[in-house]
Structure 1
């Protein structure tokens, strides 16, 4: 068996660690939301997010540990879609705050905007990197390409 340090770069390992840890935390939060739901919306939120988060964590593990490199492109597309979602959510929330009648502390825009920018930039760069990673002839390919 090959050593993982030979097949997975440091950046891939770092991205795997961050993405897998966040997906695992979201999975735990979904289980807790289902188990301790006080209202039906908490329960439904946990139920609807449980399988996608679990699927993302499994795909992340398969891509890094099992070296299923054909998963890079779908996961990259998913990361780019999530980045676009965070940009949309950030812009709409800031727009609602600006249009509200109540005065807003400028520090809110700095902290809130910085949080959305960091998350969007991370997801975007992770997705962009995964889509543009070259795959060599020795990499595993998609079973769909065997036709």
Structure 2
């Protein structure tokens, strides 16, 4: 039988605190979603001023990163690089801002952020991942 790491309440609190701090320091009104390795929602935080749609998009970015086992930006790059057929892939969004949480070489969840420019969303998401993953 295998043992594996999972996200618990303590890790969710660390992720949300780090992402919120990063966003607020920059003055960015974003939504932040954290999912488990199967893309199931564990936490959602919509900062004051973040648009309602950003909460939905953040969740889809996180789910895409968790299920795809890579940053959602990789899918955006494929589409922008001419692989438009990839738009029909079963992943839910191919927008930058979803970052997987990798521990011991395994994806245990992901953070998705939406509300500002794509690279800024990813910056906030990486701050959350960095709060629970060394290096």
Q: TM-score, normalised by structure 2?
A: 0.28
Larger strand proportion of the pair: 2
Q: TM-score, normalised by structure 1?
A: 0.26
Larger helix proportion of the pair: 1
RCO higher in 1 or 2 (8 Å CA, sep ≥ 6)? 2
